[in-house]
Structure 1
Amino acid sequence: MNTLPVNWLTEGLLDFEYKKYLLLAYLQAAKAEFGKQRLYPIFSDLIMHYRNLRQVKEHKQLVYEKFPQRISRADFEKLELVYEKIVQDDETMEQIEEIIQYATPLFGQALEEGKELYDFVERHLEITPVGITPIYHNEGYLFLESLPGRETLVYSYLITVFENTYEKYRGIQTQHLQTVRRGLTLTHEHLKIQLIKERKELPNPATFAAVSTLPVPLEQSLLPIAKRSLVKYVTRMAA
Structure 2
Amino acid sequence: MNTLPVNWLTEGLLDFEYKKYLLLAYLQAAKGEFSRHRLYPVFSDLIMHYRNLQQVKEHKRLVYEQFPQRISRADFEKLELVYEKIVQDDETMEQIEEIIQYATPLFGQALEEGKELYDFVERHLEISPVGITPMYHNEGYLFLEYSPVKETQVYLYNITVFENTYEKYRGIHTQLLQTVRRGLALTHEHLKAQLIKERKEMPNPATFAAVASLPVPLEHSLLPIAKRSLVKYVSQLAA
Shift of 1:167: 2.4
What amino acid maps onto 1:8 in structure 2? Answer: W
Moved over 6 A (4+): none
Aligned partners of 1:163 and 1:13: how far apart in 2?
Answer: 40
Q: Percent identity?
A: 88
Letter paired with 2:159: I
- In structure 2, the partner of 1:143 is 143
Structure 1 unaligned residues grouped into runs of 5+? none
The one-letter amino acid paired with 2:152 is T
Pair 1:181-2:181 in alignment: yes
Residues 1:26 and 2:45 are matched in the alignment? no
**Unmatched runs of 5 consecutive residues or more in structure 2:** none
Partner of 1:125: 125
In the alignment, structure 1 residue 154 sits paired with structure 2 residue 161 = no
Give 2:172's aligned residue. 172
Q: Which residue of 2 aligns with 1:197?
A: 197
Match in the other structure for 2:62: 62
The offset of 1:90, in angstroms, is: 0.4
Letter in 2 for 1:17: E
Measured in 1, the distance between the counterparts of 2:75 and 2:149 equals 45
Please state whether the residue corresponding to 1:62 is helix, strand or coil: coil
Matches within 5 A, 1:87-126: 87-126=87-126
1:164 shift after superposition: 2.7
2:93 maps to amino acid: M
Counterpart amino acid of 2:190? H
Q: What is the deviation of 1:136?
A: 0.3
Question: Which amino acid is 1:192 matched to?
Answer: K
Question: 1:134 — aligned with what?
Answer: 134
TM-superposed deviation, 1:11: 1.0
| Structure 1 counterpart SS, 2:179 | strand
**What does residue 71 of structure 1 align with?**
71
Total equivalences in the alignment: 239
The alignment's C-alpha RMSD in Å is 0.7
- The equivalent residue for 1:208 is 208
Alignment partners' CA distance in 1, 2:20 and 2:53: 14
- Cα distance change, pair 6–154 in 1 and its aligned pair in 2 (3 A): same
Which amino acid is the alignment partner of residue 7 of structure 1? N
Letter in structure 1 aligned against 2:81: L
Structure 2 distance, partners of 1:97, 1:163, is 35
Structure 1 residue 46 and structure 2 residue 46: aligned? Answer: yes
The one-letter code of the counterpart of 2:106 is L
- 2:12, 2:191 → 1: CA distance? 55
Corresponding residue for residue 163 of structure 1: 163
Cα offset, 1:148, TM superposition: 1.8
In the alignment, the residues of structure 2 paired with residue 11 and residue 165 of structure 1 have an alpha-carbon distance, to the nearest angstrom, of 34
SS at match of 1:184: coil
2:224 partner amino acid: P
Separation (CA, whole Å) in 2 of partners of 1:68 and 1:74: 14
1:200 Cα deviation after fit: 1.2
Q: 2:28 aligns to what SS in structure 1?
A: helix
Aligned partners of 1:50 and 1:11: how far apart in 2? 17
